[in-house]
Amino acid sequence: MDRTSTIAIRPAGTEDIDGVLALFEAVAAEGRWIGTEPGFDKDRYRRSWETRIASGSDALIVAADAEDIVGAIDLRENERGDWSFGMLVAPERREQGVGTALLDAAIVWARARGIRALTLGVYPHNEAAVRLYERNGFVRTGAIEKSPRRQNGEIWDIVIMERRIDR
């Protein structure tokens, strides 16, 4: 059965924030895939997402399976005017097309706004994510060596990837 057939990809509303926070907390607890680690300030994230959803300037797009948020992609403009994103997929829904569906929605969103490129940072040991991004037209454009120290004392590199958005 195609498990993505029950998934709705849509812009997040404020009613989705608790689900996104729960997903964010679960992925952070894995300690391997995102820079945020357990103990992060949930209220700060909540306020940021509420403000950004209300303004409509950035995008928080969710993958919802009934009432459950099983994925999210967070696109934002950085101080240099570039657009970057972070993506989360629930552990039990990985490699089932959720990430691809979120990337497709992000690219449509970016193209509609005339954004020229999307960038992200990914840990090189996250091989499944790197493959997903490469299959979807992202290329490696650089690296950040020895990113900030993890709670366990490890220091990981970050691969920078970019996809040009053609109009």
Q: Is the pLDDT of residue 1 over 50?
A: no
The CATH architecture that domain 3-164 belongs to is: 3-Layer(aba) Sandwich (3.40)
Burial zone of 41 (CB within 10 Å; 0-12 exposed, 13-18 middle, 19+ buried): exposed
- Bridge partners, residue 61, by sequence: 11, 73
Q: What are phi and psi of 31, to 5 degrees?
A: 70, 20
39 pLDDT tier (thresholds 50, 70, 90): confident
Where along the chain do its domains lie? 3-164
Q: Is the pLDDT of residue 21 over 80?
A: yes
What is the strand order of the sheet 83-89 is part of?
Answer: 7-11, 59-65, 68-77, 83-89, 117-122, 158-164, 139-144
Q: For 92-129, how does the pLDDT look when each residue is reduced to its tens digit (9 = 90+)?
A: 999 999 999 999 999 999 999 999 999 999 999 999 99
Q: For 120-155, how does the pLDDT look when each residue is reduced to its tens digit (9 = 90+)?
A: 999 999 999 999 999 999 999 998 888 778 888 888
Contact by Cβ (8 Å): 139, 161: yes
In 3D space, the residue among 166, 167, 144, 139 whose CA is nearest the CA of residue 156 turns out to be: 144
E strands present in 39-82: 59-65, 68-77
**Cα torsion through 85, 91, 92, 98, rounded to 10:** 10
